[in-house]
Amino acid sequence: MCALNSKIPVGPVDKKWTDYKDHALLVNPSNKRSIDVIVIGSGLAGASAAASLAEMGYAVKCFCFQDSPRRAHSIAAQGGINAAKNYKNDGDSTYRLFYDTIKGGDYRAREANVHRLAEVSAAIIDQCVAQGVPFAREYGGLLDNRSFGGTQVQRTFYAAGQTGQQLLLGAYSALSKEISKGSVKMYNRHEMMDVVNVNGKTRGVIVRNLVTGKIERHGGHAVLLCTGGYGNVFFLSTNAMGCNVSAAWKAHKRGAYFGNPCYTQIHPTCIPVSGDHQSKLTLMSESLRNDGRIWVPAKLEDAKAIQQGKKKATELAEADRDYYLERRYPAFGNLVPRDVASRAAKERCDAGHGVNATGEAVFLDYAAAFERYGHIEANKRNLVNADSATIIAMGKEVVKEKYGNLFDMYQQITGENPYEVPMKIYPAVHYTMGGLWVDYELMTTVPGLYALGEANFSDHGANRLGASALMQGLADGYFVIPYTIGNYLANDIRTGKIPTDTPEFDEAEKAVKDRISFFVNNKGTRTVDHFHKRLGKVMWDKCGMARNAKGLTEAVGEIRAIREEFWKDVRVPGSESDFNPELEKACRVADFLELAELMCLDALSREESCGGHFREEHQTEEGEAKRDDVGMAFVSAWEFAGDPGKAVLHKEELVYENIKVVQRSYK
């Protein structure tokens, strides 16, 4: 059993990364050509890593399960990407981004990693602009910024509501450039089924060609998992349908420790569930909280009337509305961090103030913004006597320019026009801070196996700030891994090609084939989705926005029961040697059913409330999260021991030398 070594360089926090880079081992260009690097995933993390490593000269293979690398889930990110550029002259700095991220993460992230993230953030924006990413600009031609939750400066760069799309297309274009040169070999519609370790090091992967069903072996000197987050363990989430934990989970079962699995981000602004047929939830970007005001009816009888459709939101007088975020958190108002905003919505809805038929929704209201922007426009255009209808119409135009695509999306899904009636929103699973434990070099506990982007646990502590995942994914891929991987591969220059005709590859391939043939031959009576939905409900009810020991203990039992039933009774149609989406789902849900148990165990063992992890037993009198900085200031890193329930906990102590740890307050 290896003791956790986070390999954090010594020295002051703002010198660590420079110092590390100055001393990391290098691989000379001619040697790089004979070193094979396998990148699983082509999202922001994977595409940026694959392109950058190929530019440096490594021989890269990149895999994704979609039909094109451009479709990775990163494409869906809406709001923006943070960077400490201080273009707004509002006091931003590397230190402030570092500080905000640690604080936003509720003091459960590693100082050294987060500082590095803040240091490289500015270069990401430079890189993206050079690639032709069309960020929003001001009239002077310079880049524009907006603000996001949990910060008091404007440091978020954006491209309307499609920032993730534009950043990913930038990374995809860099990847395409390398594919065209032959320095990256791209495998679309290929799913990694297992990692292969040889003599304690990761030396390759087993993948399935999703079109032909063929199982392939690929050897490499290092494997990078850039496979995204596991929010879909809840069945309903804002993640794309294909998002899954399988690559990370397989790595976990092969020796990589899993970090903080219970840290899940529930996003406050999503479109509420509409019925049993629901297959996924849609996020309304956090940027909407910049200008929208969140409220519920102050009186229960009004709430009831609205729930029953007897009253409309617009009929309630100002005095009868409870702008509960502005009331509870005057300093940050509607821009409190996500975990705080989500819990506050749940609290109001649990108390009966919800505003749709299910009672699980709150209003996100733009009426005040229409007016405010309308007045600004009127001033700009010197319309001194504009009537209120004109002002509101002008305000709507401004809002349309800023958020038009989000408003359209809302209308498309709900059938309601958000320019006329306030939107209804409710929290939904969105992001997983937990992931494979990695050291400062982004290496997991298995040498040669790395994890980047949302797949690792690293930089967001117990709660991620908005616009920081895109930053982290691209930081990992463009600016961290190119430096840290050499430090490992420099010792591999004499290894030569990794053979794949070894017992380790045989064993891994056989296990994959056995599992697949089990599925297609098991003539059960229930579909994969049946089990996935049941699992999701248990997780949402008992390991969701609020957790307690009793519920979590019950959840463990229920998950085990569902898992047992799944293996007995699942039905997977079709064949193994064919395009078979049900088979893909079955393989992924099998892993979710194991991960879920570990998430509950982790949540049980974390006897405190922090960030996205809220244990009802640990709260202040005002119902705010209560951390235990004496007993729980550590990263939980779980080692697989034959069964998810038997996982062994290792602790990485978190040391804060540069930031004073205080109870978070957004009041």
Partner 1 sequence: MADHGMKLTLKIWRQKGPKDAGKLVDYPVTDVSPDMSFLEMLDVLNEQLVMKGEEPVAFDHDCREGICGMCSLYINGRAHGPQTGITTCQLHMRSFNDGDTIYIEPWRAEAFPVIKDLVVDRSAFDRIIQAGGYISVNTGAAQDANCLPVNKKDADAAFSAAMCIGCGACVATCKNASAMLFVSAKVSQLALLPQGRIEAEERVLNMVQQMDVEGFGNCTNTGACEVECPKGISLQNIARLNREYLSAALMSEK
Q: Does 42 bind ligand FAD (CB under 6 A)?
A: yes
Q: 335 forms bridges with which residues in the sheet?
A: none
Q: Which of 396, 430, 585, 615 binds ligand FAD (CB under 6 A)?
A: 430
Which one of partner 1, ligand FAD, none interacts with residue 205, CB within 5 to 8 A by kind?
Answer: none
* x-marked contacts with ligand FAD along 239-268 as a string, rule CB under 6 A: x---xx-xx---------------------
Instruction: Report the alpha-carbon distance of residue 58 to residue 201 in Å, rounded.
Output: 19
* CA dihedral of 6, 10, 11, 13, whole degrees rounded to 10: 0
Which one of ligand FAD, partner 1, none interacts with residue 663, CB within 5 to 8 A by kind?
Answer: none
Which one of ligand FAD, partner 1, none interacts with residue 415, CB within 5 to 8 A by kind?
Answer: partner 1
Q: How far is the CB of 572 from ligand FAD (least distance, A)?
A: 17
Which one of partner 1, ligand FAD, none interacts with residue 165, CB within 5 to 8 A by kind?
Answer: partner 1
DSSP state at residue 366: -
Catalytic site residue from 108, 146, 293, 338: 338
Q: Which of 16, 73, 221, 346 binds ligand FAD (CB under 6 A)?
A: 73
DSSP string, 247-275: HHHHHHHTTPPEE-TT-EEEEEEEPPP--
Amino acid at 215: I
Can 563 be counted among the known catalytic residues? no
Which one of ligand FAD, partner 1, none interacts with residue 642, CB within 5 to 8 A by kind?
Answer: none
Residue with smaller CB distance to ligand FAD, 229 or 434: 229
* x-marked contacts with ligand FAD along 175-214 as a string, rule CB under 6 A: ----------------xx----------------------
Quick one: which H or E segment has residue 343? helix 338-350
Residue with smaller CB distance to partner 1, 297 or 453: 453
Between β-strands 59-63 and 36-40, what pairing exists: parallel, antiparallel or unpaired?
parallel
Instruction: Report the alpha-carbon distance of residue 432 to residue 455 in Å, rounded.
Output: 8
DSSP state at residue 445: S
Q: Does 238 bind ligand FAD (CB under 6 A)?
A: yes
Tell which residue, 28, 280, 57, 192, has the closest CA to residue 588: 192
Task: Please provide the distance, in angstroms rounded to a whole number, between the alpha carbons at the two ends of the chain.
Answer: 45
Q: How far is the CB of 154 from ligand FAD (least distance, A)?
A: 15
Residue 384 burial class via C-beta count within 10 angstroms: exposed 0-12, middle 13-18, buried 19 and up = exposed
- Whose tokens are 């990694």? That residue is 192
Residue with smaller CB distance to ligand FAD, 43 or 536: 43
Instruction: Report the alpha-carbon distance of residue 614 to residue 623 in Å, rounded.
Output: 10
Q: Which of residues 577-606 bind ligand FAD (CB under 6 A)?
A: none
Instruction: Report the alpha-carbon distance of residue 177 to residue 206 in Å, rounded.
Output: 26
Q: Does 43 bind ligand FAD (CB under 6 A)?
A: yes
Q: Does 64 bind ligand FAD (CB under 6 A)?
A: yes
Q: Does 100 bind ligand FAD (CB under 6 A)?
A: no
Size of the chain, expressed as the number of residues it contains: 667
Quick one: which H or E segment has residue 634? strand 634-639
Q: Does 290 bind ligand FAD (CB under 6 A)?
A: no
Q: By three-state DSSP, how is residue 148 classified?
A: coil
Amino acid at 26: L
Residue ranges that bind ligand FAD, judged by CB under 6 A: 40-46, 63-66, 72-74, 76-81, 163-164, 191-192, 226-229, 238-239, 243-244, 246-247, 283, 430-431, 453-455, 467-470, 473
Q: Which residues are catalytic?
A: 338
